[in-house]
Amino acid sequence: NMETAMPTEWGGWRVALNIGREAFTTMPQQWASSGARFPLVMKCNFTNIDNANVVRSITDDVRYTASGGEVIVPVESGTWSLSNNRDLVYSLTFPEKLERNGIELGPCTIICEGLLYTKKDLADLDQEFYKVRSITDEANSELKEMKRRKEAPRKWNSEENVWEQRYKNESPISKVGKRFKQFLAENDEKRQSKKRPFSSELSLESGQFPGIDDNVFIGKNGKITLKGAGFGDAVIGTWGAEPINDKPA
C-alpha cells in the first residue's frame, strides 16, 4: 500500500559499540594495551526531518556497568549521512569521560562508518553474482570438454588398420582463447563476490532507515574513529546495530 511505500523519516536501531585497541591505530601505545574491550550499547534514532539528518540516543545517555556499579553518561546527538545509498557515516558526542576495563574515553566525538544494504540491494548483488558465475561455469565446461576430447580413447580405423586419435587436436589459438576466457571469468567472479556480504556480516534483522522505502540491513564490524583529543583520526573500535523491536537483545 501507499503507506509502506513511502520513505521513512526515522529509524530506531540498537547500536553496539565495541571499543578497544585496533591494529594500526594511532592512539597512544598505552591506551587499551591490555587487549580489553569496552562494549557500549544504546538505542538510537536516525531521523530526517526538515532536511536535517540527526542521530541521537533515545534516552540521551548510555549506561554500562563498572566495578562501582551502573554508570550513566550523557550522549549528545550528532549527524548522519548516506552516500551511494550504501556508505553510512554518523557522529555521537560523549561530553564526559567514560572508563571501564582500564579503557578511558572522552570527552570526545566519535565517527562511526559502516555499510547499509536494502533487501533489493542484496537481491541485485546475488543476481549479478550468479550471472557472472554462470560465465565461469561455461568457461570451465569448455576446458573440461577440451580435456575430455584430448584424453578420449583411440578408435580403430578398419580401413587403415590402425588405432587413431578419436578427435582432432584443438588449435593453439582456441586453447589460449578458452583459458583466457576462464581467467577473465574467475577474476570477474571474485570481484563480484567481494561486493556480496555474507549473512554473518549483516545485522540479524532488517529495519527502517530514513529516506529509504525498503527495510535495510546494517553491516557488522563498522569502523569507529575518534575525532580530536590530539590523536587525529584514530581508529578505536568496531560497531554494529540491530533494529529496535520487541525481540530480546
pLDDT in tens, 157-216: 998 899 998 888 899 999 999 999 999 999 999 999 999 999 999 999 999 999 888 899
What pLDDT does residue 5 have? 43
Position 248 confidence tier, pLDDT thresholds 50, 70, 90: low
The amino acid present at 102, given as its one-letter code, is G
Q: Are strands 52-57 and 61-66 parallel, antiparallel or unpaired?
A: unpaired
C-alpha grid cell, residue 205: 534483522
The model's pTM: 0.80
Specify whether the CB–CB gap between 27 and 231 falls below 8 A.
yes
HSE-up (13 A, CA, CB side) for residue 81? 3
Spatial CA neighbour of 112 closest among 237, 28, 248, 10? 237
Whether the predicted pLDDT of 7 surpasses 60: no
pLDDT (tens digit per residue) in 200-224: 999 999 999 998 888 999 999 999 9
Q: Which residues of 106-117 are buried (b: 16+ CB within 10 A; e: fewer)?
A: bebbbbbebbbb
CA dist., res. 115 & res. 68, Å (int): 36
pLDDT (tens digit per residue) in 31-79: 888 889 999 999 999 999 888 999 999 999 999 998 889 999 999 999 9
Specify whether the CB–CB gap between 199 and 217 falls below 8 A.
no
